[in-house]
Structure 1
């Protein structure tokens, strides 16, 4: 294994062997430990079938801006290890980022495991990183496409979460997504980070196994719910959770078949600001996940949205419309500054 000199800041990965490496993970593995400066890994166009694990700080992954540069894997929650134990959600990732100051540009992160009960959750990206930023990236999956760490304090349905961050101390995390495309159906943006999605497209993907309409006891028809865009688990003492600024909410699903969000944990915070909301969003907007007690603790906000699904006339009573004064605080700089004044660039 060759050493990367401490002064070397850039390496190239190319499938055809024309770069320094043919494997992205190999390039990451050879970054010196305790490096205090960015290492830029340029990834030439192509499809890289790799499951990436990144725990070195200041890593920059830069794809080709003109041709698709794809990182894809197909693990899933119901897959089993050789000893018969399940992967569960948090081992199913295509890419795991567990170190701070990560940046990615012009890359597609895909979990190709598919859908259905035999697959379950399948993460395209697991970001357990502070000051992480993504520009012109695509995140594609079905259930649980993008997880923004940290994990909540305790699981709901079993004794451990599993996955690479089991038992690791939790810390406050800020993440920034600019001009990104995020696709999925069930809770496909979820987690505890403070994250800004700036001019992104949020594509709600219909579930092929579901019919379009269901019939209630009185014979009227209601749309079948295909999913939820967000499932935040914002800590109680954190002011901002997910903030979507000037985003496009698109879908191939029937009208009224998606909710803007539901609370994975009771203090979930989600705001949609100046977004174009498609007809696939249910008129009530939000779902309590069968947790009536969460209705008094969640912070679900909207401001100056437009589109067929933006009307607030039938929204649930426990969400609310921001006024113009409060909305002035919803800027990238204000939300993500933290104690160190971080401004993503």
Structure 2
């Protein structure tokens, strides 16, 4: 996005008045899933409900259809939206179980497309919004809604076995919801009632997105409960869906080879020895939606630029592949929010990187992400967002903030209980960068109602405040958050005087294992394909 401010993370002074305006919004996506599995899942629920109705004397086809729609909609958070969107479009004579799932995505796409057109520069607000912040927010919103639509449309065209597809769908739907919420949050500083208007136009699409995610989550739970895992794992139709096809063994050897410069498609060099002097210019030269791999070799140097790898730049491999590189925002503490690195793409890997700023240094915006042996510096909420992210063997360095500020390492933004998102630290170290003897430092605070953050097997220095966690506003946190500390060590890891929140959980190894690479990131082949070391489980 062209402005990070538009994502809705603001300075501490604005938090109280913003909290009341934040509501839980939702997301989007689903795919055509194995018919036999859907029949098992849906028909089981439908038949049970229909049988119950038949005992009451309801023999009509209409009664059966109502039971079918009800069986699906009852698992959603917005049941009225589900009934009103699916009921009128279901053809009783041609009813198939999987149609309800496809339709839940299709109606969400239709509603989001309409809302996006209304919100666009040429839509409802054409020429009527003039202040700089609002214009920037509208521009960013358009990009975010475009990403949400991309995830929905991809979901309808995917393929694979249920276990692969459902987990991918949950990720894409979670991200689609995040994009819509980010659009709304971007208008926090807009003049007048513009944010309320935007939220109104996105209300139905966010509800329908949430419903689709709830349905997918339900499928996953039911599939596991009826012991279909072994059957599906033997399904010969399983594909490498979701795995980055562009990075195989030959590519890894290329990346690690000493003669990478000779084999690179484009060379960037600050000293002028390459074709381009900036990374941005090199990316502009990459053909849009190219099926051919483009390798960009960036020679050693300091590059002062805002680098954006747009969604249209397919099959791009920057020589380091997010390896051994630093990302720094030089705005300083006085500028408040100043993101050094934002990642929004799925299955991104950062290895031995440095992310250096003050407030909001690392924006783990959406989808699945992995960070290994990275050094991360910051002050307020300096690791934030709503992706499913694991930070492993990383060094976390809270630093000296502005006078009067407190350090908070995380601000996780989960907005829906069905999202598979959260921040997970494993085998990391938390140490001060500078003299923090007079600064209170906390593990995090809940940005949204379902904020999820877990620290596991991590060293915590004495800089961590005994309370551990800080409320967003007031003196407590929503009961719906999920915060936990598991097998941590060091003087700051003592939990005796932690805040007494319902959402701060003591967990077992079984629960902790759900936040490992293997479970939380849904596998690890995409990480090993990037030739990066990792620990799969506890």
* Structure-1-length-normalised TM-score: 0.70
Deviations along 1:274-317, one digit per CA (max 9) or x if unpaired, are 00001111111111211567430110011100011000111122
Segment of structure 1 superposing worse, 135-144 or 323-332:
323-332
Tell me if the contact between 1:303 and 1:327 (Cα under 8 Å) persists in the aligned partners. yes
Per the alignment, residue 316 of structure 2 pairs with 59
Q: What are the ranges of 5 or more consecutive residues in structure 2 without an aligned counterpart?
A: 1-262, 531-538
Change (3 A) 1:269 1:47: same
Offset, 1:233: 0.1
1:323 pairs, out of 508, 523, 530, with 508
Distance in 2 separating the partners of 1:255 and 1:333: 39
Offset, 1:10: 3.6
Per the alignment, residue 246 of structure 1 pairs with 427
Distance in 1 separating the partners of 2:357 and 2:426: 22
Change (3 A) 1:235 1:130: farther
Deviations along 1:129-148, one digit per CA (max 9) or x if unpaired, are 11111111111000111112
Per the alignment, residue 392 of structure 2 pairs with 198
1:93-172 aligned within 5 A: 103-116=321-334, 119-150=335-366
Change (3 A) 1:271 1:37: farther
Q: What's the secondary structure of 1:289's corresponding residue?
A: coil
User: How many residue pairs align between the two structures?
Assistant: 260
Per the alignment, residue 281 of structure 1 pairs with 464
* Structure-2-length-normalised TM-score: 0.46
Q: What's the secondary structure of 1:238's corresponding residue?
A: coil
Offset, 1:37: 5.2
Distance in 2 separating the partners of 1:36 and 1:179: 32
Change (3 A) 1:9 1:62: closer
1:188 pairs, out of 363, 375, 382, with 382
Which structure is higher in helix share? 2
Q: What's the secondary structure of 1:329's corresponding residue?
A: helix
Per the alignment, residue 49 of structure 1 pairs with 304
1:17-96 aligned within 5 A: 17-36=272-291, 38-55=293-310, 56-63=313-320
Distance in 2 separating the partners of 1:328 and 1:309: 23
Q: For CA contacts below 8 A with separation 6 or more, give which structure has more relative contact order.
A: 2
Change (3 A) 1:37 1:47: same
Change (3 A) 1:181 1:105: same
Structure of higher CA gyration radius: 2
Tell me if the contact between 2:400 and 2:439 (Cα under 8 Å) persists in the aligned partners. no
Offset, 1:343: 4.3
Q: What's the secondary structure of 1:187's corresponding residue?
A: strand
Tell me if the contact between 1:337 and 1:343 (Cα under 8 Å) persists in the aligned partners. no
Tell me if the contact between 1:255 and 1:281 (Cα under 8 Å) persists in the aligned partners. no
Offset, 1:114: 1.1
Per the alignment, residue 75 of structure 1 pairs with none
Q: What's the secondary structure of 2:338's corresponding residue?
A: coil
